[in-house]
Every structure is written in C-alpha cells, then in structure tokens.
Amino acid sequence: MQQIAFLIYPDFQFMGLAAATVFEFANLELPEPIYEISYISETGGPIPTSLGMAVDTKAFSDARFDTLIIGGGNGMVRASRGVKDFVTLALTQSRRVASICTGAYVLAEAGILDGRRATTHWAYARDLQERFPAVRMEEDRIFIIDGSVWTSAGMTAGIDLALAMVEKDLGADLARSVAKKLVVHHRRAGGQSQFSVLLEMDAKTDRIQSALVYARNNLRTALSVEQLADAAHLSPRQFSRAFRAETGQSPAKAVENLRVEAARLMMEQGRHPIDVVAEETGFADRERMRRAFLRAFGQPPQTIRRNAQRDYPG
C-alpha cells in the first residue's frame, strides 16, 4: 500500500484536495486499493481551509510516506520551522515530494528547490524566483519533475500532477481511465503552457470570437484577413479595426499565436516530424515555424520537445 499524504495548514487552498480524487479513482479501478490517503498537519486536528471548511488531520509523526504533497494557499505561503523541518526530512524518506500551486514556497523555504527546475502558479512565479534566486523557475509549465521533487502550476494543474503520478505507478491505460471518469483531458504534458491563446486575447464580441474559433479550427489554411472577416460577417476593413480594438493585436499576429500554440502542443505530446507539425499548423515550412517559436518562447521547437520528454519521458 502506497501512503499518499497531503500536508495541510491554515487557509490551505481547498482546490488542492482535488488531486486526492485521482488516487481515490485509481483505487476504484484496481482489484485491491494501492493508495492510502492521509491528511497531516503540524498540530493535528481540524485545520480550516480557504473556504472555511475544516479538514481533520493527524499531527506530524515518524510515519513515512511514499508521496508527500503540499498544496497552495490563496497567495504566498510561509512555512513554519516545524513544517520546513518535516518537509526536509520527508525528502530523504519519501519516494517523491510534490507541491501544487504556491505550495512551492514551502519547498523553496526549506531549500529543496535550490538548483532544481520548478514551477508554480503563473501569478506568483516571478515573486518566488526573486525571493529564492537559486530556484530554476519555469513559470509557464503545467508541472515539472526534477528527480524526486515534483512541482505544478495552480488550481487544476494538481490533477495533472496526480494523473502523472498514477501513470508512473500504474501505467498509461489506468491513468487514462481515471482521467476519463473525472471528465478531464488525459495528462496535459508537463511542458504544456499554463495559458490559452484564446483566453489571453479575450475577445469581447461574438463576431470576433467566432473569427478566432474559425482560425483555430482551420490552421492548415492561409487564413487571410478576408477569410476571417467573412467568418465574423464584417468587411475586411471593419474586421481589422474591430479585431485590433478588442484583442490589442493584428489578425496576422493572432493567427501566428494560435499556430504556435497548436504546434507546441503537437511537439510536446507527439513524435511527429517537425515538417509534419509545420504543415498541420499552417506554417509554410519548418524554418518559419522555428522563427515563430523563437519569437514566442525564445527556444526552437526541438528544445520544446526535448524539455517535455525530460519532464515526462513516459
């Protein structure tokens, strides 16, 4: 039986406990349960979460855990000396120690992230990097595995982290079955972006949103302004003016961003040749795609793929 412990502290972000459901459903898929889930805290007893509800916990003890998971709070998390000592000891005794969201501050304060690649919620990544410069922060990642230390982005990324753990433990088929029952996409790649281009552009009207959705669904085509304007039921001149007013960028730049997002996902989650990825996402050739990746990420497509495979080789 693998012991999975969630470290709880006052005002712990309740969403972090969603990861526990992944292990619960993994148990339901097996003839005999493999995971035993517990909730621990420095003091023991009921600990209030961010929503005010209390979670009953056991106090720190000499018990050993296969996996220790530290969730985040609604902001920067400061760890007590007792918590830092406990986490530091767990690193030597547990197969893996993980953080969700701003739980990464706890690992950083304990010195566990020094020299390691790590991620956290995008809104706190730069603050954590400034406070702990020895951390090799990668702010736009869903999760990162560096040795026995796992870190993830915020909120639902904890589910991706837990699914990745189940896949490591029990295989891709079982993890896929758990994801299906939870009605989530099966394991977003660790290197996948925390952001969505469509959400970032935040189109205000249905017409511009319709044009963006049309573009995303037709990336293999040329996607001229005339095509997009037709999808929005506007003249090209009206469309270009309205598009820039709502998104803050030109239609051409928006299309490039959509192509880059789709190409990055193909590079991370598949083994398609670069020429195929470039063709499927509407880049004229691999060189144009490479230049677009450098503008967007400062890295060529091959590096994006290599990083994703390093984060999660399975």
Residue-wise pLDDT tens digits, 188-238: 555 555 556 666 677 788 889 889 989 989 999 999 999 999 999 999 999
Is residue 29 classed exposed, middle or buried when 0-12, 13-18 and 19+ CB atoms within 10 A define those classes? middle
Q: Quick check: 298 pLDDT over 80? A: yes
Angle (CA) 136-171-195 rounded to 5° is 40
User: What's the CATH code, domain 2-182?
Assistant: 3.40.50.880
List alpha helices for the chain, DSSP H: 18-29, 81-93, 104-109, 125-131, 157-170, 172-182, 197-201, 206-217, 225-232, 236-247, 251-269, 274-280, 286-297, 301-311
- CATH number 1.10.10.60 is the correct assignment for the domain at 197-311: yes
Angle (CA) 247-250-255 rounded to 5° is 90
Residues comprising the chain, all counted: 314
Residue type for position 208: I
* Cα 163 to Cα 119, 159, 169, 234, distances in angstroms: 17, 6, 10, 44
Q: What does the pLDDT look like over 160-179, one tens digit per residue?
A: 999 999 999 999 899 989 99
Q: What does the pLDDT look like over 104-136, one tens digit per residue?
A: 999 999 999 999 999 999 889 999 999 999 999
Give the residue-averaged pLDDT of 61-88. Answer: 93
Domain boundaries defined on the chain:
2-182, 197-311
